[in-house]
């Protein structure tokens, strides 16, 4: 397990679920992981777990809705590391499902901010650092709802559809550089976000977060040549 040996990887939404699992897998694969999340205590717990397994991490408590802080993140990483090899835009929110005509404007804005705009701001802030890597990789977590939105999924589905369009556009722009940008659709996974959407669903048939880290490693690896695509299990 050394496909990411010596790489510097930033992961958003790292405190739980898929983000935490990806962070632990990347560290096990040899990456130094930069853990981004809102909760200091949860970041420290994950840091301890990674350290106990021989990995290394840097903690960045950050609310992705504070867009100016994302701009400062790029500057801070440049001053400390000079580059970034891997960006994993994983953080996401899912509101209580509701009819489109009744969605609270504040709820709509929060979901668009976290799931879409924050990733656009991350690209804006971190693209110069990815270009300083010999093989910069940007990876974003998506969902089938982006392509097959059912009733009441309005804000979440729109944010993920927008994210997919954003990443495809970015991928086309960087095609002539060493940077690659892709998405991962892990399918149904036993996470808090999934449970909020399907509270009565049986969890026995769902994959665990640690079961879906493989495509993230593949998309983050320096030997990945795919660009603007969706990785699945």
Task: Report how far residue 10's alpha carbon sits from residue 33's, in angstroms, rounded to the nearest whole number.
Answer: 6
Task: Report how far residue 91's alpha carbon sits from residue 181's, in angstroms, rounded to the nearest whole number.
Answer: 17
Write the burial class of residue 2 (CB in 10 Å: 0-12 exposed, 13-18 middle, 19+ buried): exposed
Task: Report how far residue 152's alpha carbon sits from residue 147's, in angstroms, rounded to the nearest whole number.
Answer: 14
**Which position has the token pair 């990443």?**
167
Task: Report how far residue 20's alpha carbon sits from residue 43's, in angstroms, rounded to the nearest whole number.
Answer: 9
The two three-digit tokens of residue 38, written as one number? 């809102």
3-state secondary structure of 122: helix
Task: Report how far residue 194's alpha carbon sits from residue 136's, in angstroms, rounded to the nearest whole number.
Answer: 30
Q: Which residues of 167-204 are buried (b: 16+ CB within 10 A; e: fewer)?
A: bbebbeebeeeebbbbbbbbebbbbebbeebeeeeeee
> Hey, which residues are catalytic here?
156
Using only C-alpha atoms, the chain has a radius of gyration, in whole angstroms, of: 17
């Amino acid at each position: 397990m050394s496909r990411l040996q010596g790489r510097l990887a930033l992961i958003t939404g790292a405190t739980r679920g898929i983000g935490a699992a990806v962070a632990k897998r990347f560290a096990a694969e040899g990456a130094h992981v930069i853990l981004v999340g809102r909760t200091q205590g949860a970041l420290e717990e994950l840091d301890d777990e990674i350290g106990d397994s021989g990995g290394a991490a840097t903690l960045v408590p950050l609310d992705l809705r504070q867009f100016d802080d994302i701009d400062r993140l790029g500057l801070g990483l440049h001053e400390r590391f000079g580059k970034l090899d891997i960006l994993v835009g994983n953080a996401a929110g899912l509101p209580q499902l509701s009819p489109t005509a009744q969605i609270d404007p504040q709820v709509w804005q929060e979901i668009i901010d976290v799931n879409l705009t924050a990733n656009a701001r991350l690209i804006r802030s971190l693209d110069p650092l990815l270009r300083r890597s010999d093989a910069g990789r940007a990876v974003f977590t998506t969902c089938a709802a982006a392509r097959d939105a059912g009733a009441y999924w309005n804000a979440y589905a729109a944010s993920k559809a927008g994210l997919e369009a954003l990443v495809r556009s970015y991928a086309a722009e960087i095609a002539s550089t060493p940077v690659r940008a892709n998405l991962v659709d892990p399918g149904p996974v036993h996470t808090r976000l999934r449970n909020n959407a399907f509270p009565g669903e049986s969890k026995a048939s769902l994959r665990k977060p640690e079961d879906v880290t493989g495509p993230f490693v593949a998309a983050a690896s320096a030997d990945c040549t795919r660009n603007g695509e969706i990785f699945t299990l």
